[in-house]
Amino acid sequence: MLHGTQPCILAADFGNLRKEIQTVSEAGAQYIHIDVMDGMFVPSISFGMPVIQSVRSCTDKVFDVHMMVEEPGRYAADLKAAGADLLCVHQEACRHLDRTINQIKELGMKVGVALNPATPVETLSCVLDQVDMILLMSVNPGFGGQKFIPYTLDKIRKLRAMLNERGLQNDIQVDGGVGLGNVRELMDAGANVFVAGSAVYKNDAAANVKAFLEIFHEEANK
């Protein structure tokens, strides 16, 4: 199973956003994680389609857009046009989750579903075979730099077991408090894609991406 790191541009220098994205792309990051917040589903407001479109041309890496907004299906077509490759929506924000998943797939994007820390993984039992990725939030969404919530490890193990029972190989992504010090433990639990904001963009972003990749290489060769 492929292991990947997703630098979260919410932690980048917005005044040099294109350069910040190019730096981590050239260092080997497989994805760029883009948080869109509406000030309703989460307290913060980040950015939207114009910013995504403005940086799309600076890299060919996968744009994984994490929609922390109410009823995100309303924006799916515009996000596709802006350059999104994968759209991740929150189970808690979708009144009709099945409809939203199919809407995203019909637009030609990959689809992920995110769960807040206190939302049980069993709530996705009906749609596991319809999605490419499940994102487990390991902090309460809306702000960067928070501490990892320990019970997320049990959620990862439970979700990977559910997938294995069905013969599914969906990506399990973890977002929040992920760093070089705990990524091995998250991998052991069953996660394989890791969102890192301050853990990448604090100090030398390129060196931090390469450090994550070295861990993935070491674990793959055990």
Give the residue numbers annotated as catalytic, written as ranges.
35, 175
- Residue 88, φ and ψ in degrees, nearest 5: -110, 120
| Polymer length of the chain | 222
User: Cα separation of 188 and 137, whole Å?
Assistant: 17
What are the tokens at 75? 């924006």
User: Which stretches of the chain are DSSP H helices?
Assistant: 17-27, 49-55, 76-82, 97-106, 152-165, 183-189, 198-201, 205-220
